Structure 1
Amino acid sequence: MKNYQILKRLSLVSASAFMLTFACKDQFLEVLPTGSLAQTQLTSRAGVEGALIGTYAQLAGKGFSRLAAANNWVWGSIRGGESNKGTDPGDYSNINAMQRYETDPTDGDLNSTWAAKYEGIARANATIRLANESKELSASDKTRVIAEARFLRGHFYFELKRLFNSVPYVDETIDYGKGIEKVKNSPDFWGKIEADFKFAFDNLPETSSAAGRANKWAAGAYLGKAYLYQNKFADARSMFTNVIANGKTTNGKKYGLVSKFAEIFNAENDNNEEAIFAIQSSMNTGNVNNANGFDDLNYPYNTGSDGPGNCCGFFQPSFSMANAYRTSNGLPLLGEQADGTPDYNLAANAVKNDFGINSAAAFTEDTDPLDPRIDHTIGRRGIQYLDWIEHPGANWIRAQPYAGPYSPKKYIYYKRQENTLTDGSSWTRGYATMNFNIIRYADVLLMAAEAEIEGGSLATALGYINQVRSRAANPAGFVTKGGKAEANYSISTYTTLGDQANARRIVRMERLLELATEGHRFFDLVRWNVASRTLNAYLKYEAKWLITKFGGAAYNEEDKFLPIPQQQIDIQGADVLTQNPIK
């Protein structure tokens, strides 16, 4: 059984754990209701640590929508053009509008995403208050607990910032009865996010007995990321340089790239040297809430015993995403046409697929050069799918004309792991127990390369990018069958980045290839100010194939931030929460 201390005491913390009950003056009536906790229990060492663990638990959006977790499979990857919603038009149909950049302010999943982040913030704030009030914590433990809670609060506000931009900022000094309901939404809280990560960086230890906890270097990496999102390239560069040179995981491993790309997405290899900060997952804890419930829909459809999950066909990689892995002389195709169409989407470069072809019909696989990461990211017909079978094509797709021919492949469990590293006690076998990396080392290397390109050394950026590409080029990590590579894999390192403009194209493409379907793409496009051109070209291309979903869809500048949930405006009042611009 895989289990981590960070998740062992989740039952200690619930919403009711943060509520105090006041009774009448008569002592004989001063009896706490069953299931409630007294203030002395909450401020005990166990109570404070339990509150902190409950804050970590909220990273997975437990008790909220499947769209609320930090993997951002809809908000980051589907809206970023990496994946289609998948399955068929009627299943989880409100995601159709999200993919078309038509998210309705009244959408329940939108509201749940907002509420999940604020639940995490509420838990972090409560933990800070309890730690400050505790008589049992030593001074060092109190500082460490507060630093962890502030790190987590920084994460939740970072998510809100890039999702909604303008939100109410509430810290541990504001609570019910102290004006919390009157805090207006504002976009001006980057400094507070920075302050939380900086406090965590300055006060967290490097190592811990629990592998999943945030440490000093995770805080440094996240602080660098916050700088990068604000175009503070000098600050980002300085922090990333420090993290790359000195960083280590909470369990004491020097940061580095695992040797094989696929090992990043393997539960047997969780908390490796590349895992800077991850959502921890476990099984056999009495229910499936500690497994990867936010991914349970994202398995090939109708696979029976030959494939993972038995459900549900969501999150199917797009045509454009597959085509991006085309290479020429080992390098990606960086050019684009006048209308924004990338060269990899030209007919001569498109990856051959089995769209419209029955699984029983003959199909010849693509034989032209491809980046080997395609077959760790995308399930496509004829290619070995982990240790299951060769992807059979249409038999694993619920509705090809609607969603395309591809299946997701990252964060899918192996056949050998079923019922040992999956939790099958609920409605699907697809509750995997691998961790989800919120930040991993390759991400840091590529963010550092960006900072170097914008305000440092192109030569240093080249080195960072080539580290990532060299790992991808390791033949021992290629998808094989019978000892032979499953496709014509061709990847090489760059000898030069050229000028600054070309260097930007290179690092941006590398983020697409390396981090595809990990929830980053939409936010990257927005912060690079290329979302409109890139996403409208993507919509135009996908509409050639999937017209029923994409016809008439368009991305506008108003779409870079989600609407404030109408339910929140109704609760707080329009004089407190101001709606974002909506097209």
Structure 2
Amino acid sequence: MKNIVCSIGTWLRKKAPIGGLAALIFFSNSCKEAFLDRQPIGVFSEEALKTRSGINGILVGAYAGLNGAMYGNGSSAGADVNSFSNWVFGGITSDDAQKGADVGGSRSDIERYEVTPASTKLDDRWRFCYDGIARCNDVLRLVPEIKGLTDVEIRNLTGQARALRALYYFHGTIIFGRMPWIDEKTTDYRQPNERVLWKEMEADLQYAYANLAETFPETGRINKWAAGSLLAKILIFQKKWSEAKSVLDAIVANGRTTKGLKYNLLARYHDNFRIATQGSTIDTEAVLDVNYSANDNSRGFNGGLGENLNFPHGGLASQPAGCCGYFQPSQDLVNAHRTDPDGMPFLDDYNRFEVKNDQGIESSQAFVPDAGNLDPRLDHSVGRRGIPYLDWGLHPGKAWVRDQNYAGPFQPKKNVYYKTDEMSGLVDPDRRTSANNFRLIRYAEVLLMAAETEIELGNLEKGREYVNLIRRRAANPDGFVKLPDGKPAANYVISEYKTPWTNKETALKAMRFERRLELAMEGQRFFDLVRWGIAKDVLNKYLAYEVTKRSNLRGAAFKDHNIVFPVPQRQIDATKTAEGTATLSQNPGY
């Protein structure tokens, strides 16, 4: 260690500016001191980690990345683009939402499909994914060297690490497409990005699905069924419908059987997004949660750090957080919740039936919300004027919106905590991070994936059965947003598909529309459009409509190459060979 420190000191003397004087003094004097041979305080030796508690600590560290915080940088920088909620790359790039806030900002280029390889946000995402992968690889590398572990412990440690590794790779793959494969055996980290790593991710998840326990005492760990759900998702992205069906059938039939419990839809849709129900005895829908906590002296690093911009704006004590007005739902998404007199969605022309909004109307002026038929999930996904905003009272409109003219009058709702949560100490002092978990996979999505596989395999009526389970839950009047007098806050009308599905194209359209409504503002929409092969058509149609309402999208256009984002130029430069040859190749179109 002494040689390493002195080498750094030599480098500093050659390179450091005046501001590095203190460092120069330290290194030039201390290379003579014997204390340099001691183990640094706060750093574990590898041998110290080769214990049962040590390896579990590393594994917990791999889970910690799901919060979106960049390891080791001591700040929340990058958490918004790293967050597994994917609101930046999967939300504002879709027809669900806009960047929001006001003019400018480092996410506008992402929203408008104008991001370049020089983007620091892309570099944050790339480095974050490999930070998480490295921690998983540490677990996999050390497990075989630890004495005294049982076979069950080895399988559970290895299975969780491999499932997490696949998740981090997937988290990067849906953004960049091709990535280099780095595993626990890799010694040369200059690896090419020649192809999409479906084979490797699938192998990791197959192992996890076959070897993990069905349940764990702690919430938030990846069990057999969570690994199976991730595996099914990987298979669906590859259009391996039969293989996905086999896994999904097992989850639906057997999921979480060890303790006599089965996955099921919660009775009320909005309970998925409440701290009060998470981890409770009724919480049967959580297949995989990103677990958050608050008021634990972590300065928000254990809360929903990636969501800390996505609250009503205004700095008022009467509103949650008071900052910063990002991630605003689109008019297009709101209109998609319009239903006909029979409670069915308008699959093709929903924008003909615009939902009334308070654009340009001051909070001090009168406003009456839309009186037409609406899917009740709208007011659990979107904050809008005159409708209760959780337990914070009626949304007042413009007073809570940063710039209506720029990105409209609507606000996100699913990631926001309740006023009673803040009063109960479940919110951090900054009021922008809380213990409100993010549902990475909930059972509703398992059912929607099952519906998709059945329809693709020609089992249209089975697909309708699964979709109707989702709609039946949404129709539960106990789950409607209510006014203070107990009456529904809007004219909520929704029903199931009663006519048999006999046409595959129509069935797929209905299933895809249902997926949008059920998972609205959950960061999945863009990636769905891409994997369905309809992103260009849908998003340019969306832009043509939405630009008539909002100024921020003027001139934006989705092009063929925008189905993936560019490889960060910093990573291409950093992995060049000694001769200057690039190891990583750029995605076409960039």
TM-score (norm 2): 0.89
Counterpart in the other structure of 1:320? 332
Contact kept in structure 2, 1:110 and 1:565, CA below 8 Å = yes
Q: Secondary structure at the match of 2:491?
A: coil
Counterpart in the other structure of 1:339? none
Counterpart in the other structure of 2:492? 489
Q: Secondary structure at the match of 1:439?
A: strand
CA 1:421–1:232: 2 relative to 1, 3 Å? farther
Contact kept in structure 2, 1:208 and 1:251, CA below 8 Å = no
Residue deviations 1:472-505 (CA, integer Å, cap 9, x gap): 0000000011110010100000013341000010
Counterpart in the other structure of 1:472? 474
Q: Secondary structure at the match of 1:38?
A: coil
CA 1:47–1:419: 2 relative to 1, 3 Å? farther
Counterpart in the other structure of 2:548? 544
2:361 aligned with 1:357: yes
Q: Secondary structure at the match of 1:423?
A: coil
Counterpart in the other structure of 2:96? 82
Residue deviations 1:63-102 (CA, integer Å, cap 9, x gap): 3512101110010011112111111114xx1211111011
CA 1:421–1:109: 2 relative to 1, 3 Å? farther
Contact kept in structure 1, 2:458 and 2:504, CA below 8 Å = no
Unmatched tracts of structure 1, length 5 or more: 1-23, 336-342
Equivalence map 1:265-284=2 (5 Å): 265-271=273-279, 272-284=283-295
**Distance between the aligned counterparts of 1:450 and 1:211, measured in 2?**
28
Contact kept in structure 2, 1:215 and 1:250, CA below 8 Å = no
Q: Secondary structure at the match of 1:37?
A: coil
Query: What is the Cα deviation at residue 453 of structure 1?
Result: 0.3
Equivalence map 1:503-514=2 (5 Å): 503-514=507-518
**Distance between the aligned counterparts of 2:260 and 2:114, measured in 1?**
45
Counterpart in the other structure of 1:344? 350
Q: Runs of at least 4 residues of structure 1 off by over 4 A?
A: 27-30, 249-252
Identity %: 42
Pick from 128, 135, 143: which aligns with 1:123?
A: 135
Residue deviations 1:367-423 (CA, integer Å, cap 9, x gap): 110000000011110001111110111111110000101011112111111053533
**Distance between the aligned counterparts of 2:286 and 2:223, measured in 1?**
12
Counterpart in the other structure of 1:393? 397
CA 1:422–1:52: 2 relative to 1, 3 Å? same
Residue deviations 1:228-272 (CA, integer Å, cap 9, x gap): 001111111111111111112897631000000110000111132
Query: What is the Cα deviation at residue 31 of structure 1?
Result: 2.8
Pick from 275, 299, 307: which aligns with 1:295?
A: 307
Query: What is the Cα deviation at residue 29 of structure 1?
Result: 7.8
Q: Secondary structure at the match of 1:84?
A: strand
CA 1:29–1:103: 2 relative to 1, 3 Å? closer
Q: Secondary structure at the match of 1:332?
A: coil
**Distance between the aligned counterparts of 1:131 and 1:386, measured in 2?**
46
Query: What is the Cα deviation at residue 57 of structure 1?
Result: 0.4
Counterpart in the other structure of 1:559? 562
Query: What is the Cα deviation at residue 137 of structure 1?
Result: 2.3
Residue deviations 1:291-325 (CA, integer Å, cap 9, x gap): 11111110011151221111111111001010000
Counterpart in the other structure of 1:38? 45
Equivalence map 1:128-527=2 (5 Å): 128-174=140-186, 178-180=187-189, 182-248=190-256, 253-271=261-279, 272-287=283-298, 288-302=300-314, 304-328=316-340, 329-335=342-348, 343-346=349-352, 349-425=353-429, 428-481=430-483, 482-495=485-498, 496-527=500-531
Contact kept in structure 1, 2:274 and 2:417, CA below 8 Å = yes
**Distance between the aligned counterparts of 2:462 and 2:503, measured in 1?**
14
Contact kept in structure 2, 1:421 and 1:434, CA below 8 Å = no
Contact kept in structure 2, 1:210 and 1:251, CA below 8 Å = no
CA 1:458–1:377: 2 relative to 1, 3 Å? same
Counterpart in the other structure of 2:532? 528
Q: What code does the residue aligned with 1:432 have?
A: S
CA 1:253–1:211: 2 relative to 1, 3 Å? farther
Q: What code does the residue aligned with 1:48 have?
A: I
**Distance between the aligned counterparts of 2:312 and 2:35, measured in 1?**
60
Query: What is the Cα deviation at residue 552 of structure 1?
Result: 1.4
Query: What is the Cα deviation at residue 289 of structure 1?
Result: 0.8
CA 1:406–1:223: 2 relative to 1, 3 Å? same
Contact kept in structure 2, 1:67 and 1:74, CA below 8 Å = yes
Q: What code does the residue aligned with 1:234 have?
A: S
TM-score (norm 1): 0.90
Q: What code does the residue aligned with 1:277 have?
A: L
Q: What code does the residue aligned with 1:572 have?
A: T
Counterpart in the other structure of 2:575? 572
**Distance between the aligned counterparts of 2:345 and 2:456, measured in 1?**
22
**Distance between the aligned counterparts of 2:274 and 2:179, measured in 1?**
36
Contact kept in structure 2, 1:212 and 1:250, CA below 8 Å = no
CA 1:208–1:250: 2 relative to 1, 3 Å? farther
**Distance between the aligned counterparts of 1:250 and 1:184, measured in 2?**
42
**Distance between the aligned counterparts of 2:252 and 2:48, measured in 1?**
41
**Distance between the aligned counterparts of 2:517 and 2:492, measured in 1?**
14
Contact kept in structure 2, 1:422 and 1:429, CA below 8 Å = no
CA 1:542–1:250: 2 relative to 1, 3 Å? farther
Q: Secondary structure at the match of 2:317?
A: helix
Contact kept in structure 1, 2:163 and 2:222, CA below 8 Å = yes
**Distance between the aligned counterparts of 2:58 and 2:43, measured in 1?**
14
Q: What code does the residue aligned with 1:369 have?
A: N
**Distance between the aligned counterparts of 1:297 and 1:387, measured in 2?**
20
Q: What code does the residue aligned with 1:484 have?
A: K
Q: Secondary structure at the match of 1:316?
A: strand
Contact kept in structure 2, 1:452 and 1:458, CA below 8 Å = yes
Counterpart in the other structure of 1:340? none
Counterpart in the other structure of 1:6? none
Contact kept in structure 2, 1:258 and 1:273, CA below 8 Å = yes
**Distance between the aligned counterparts of 1:330 and 1:143, measured in 2?**
48
**Distance between the aligned counterparts of 2:199 and 2:250, measured in 1?**
21
**Distance between the aligned counterparts of 1:131 and 1:413, measured in 2?**
39
Contact kept in structure 2, 1:249 and 1:276, CA below 8 Å = no
**Distance between the aligned counterparts of 2:109 and 2:215, measured in 1?**
44
**Distance between the aligned counterparts of 2:241 and 2:513, measured in 1?**
19
Contact kept in structure 2, 1:248 and 1:273, CA below 8 Å = no
Contact kept in structure 2, 1:240 and 1:448, CA below 8 Å = yes
Pick from 54, 59, 63: which aligns with 2:66?
A: 59
CA 1:499–1:284: 2 relative to 1, 3 Å? same
Unmatched tracts of structure 2, length 5 or more: 1-30, 71-76
**Distance between the aligned counterparts of 1:486 and 1:229, measured in 2?**
38
Residue deviations 1:413-461 (CA, integer Å, cap 9, x gap): 1111105353333xx3121211101111101101110000001411111
Query: What is the Cα deviation at residue 212 of structure 1?
Result: 1.1
Question: Highest Rg: 1 or 2?
Answer: 2
Counterpart in the other structure of 1:105? 117
**Distance between the aligned counterparts of 1:370 and 1:454, measured in 2?**
29
Contact kept in structure 1, 2:295 and 2:425, CA below 8 Å = no
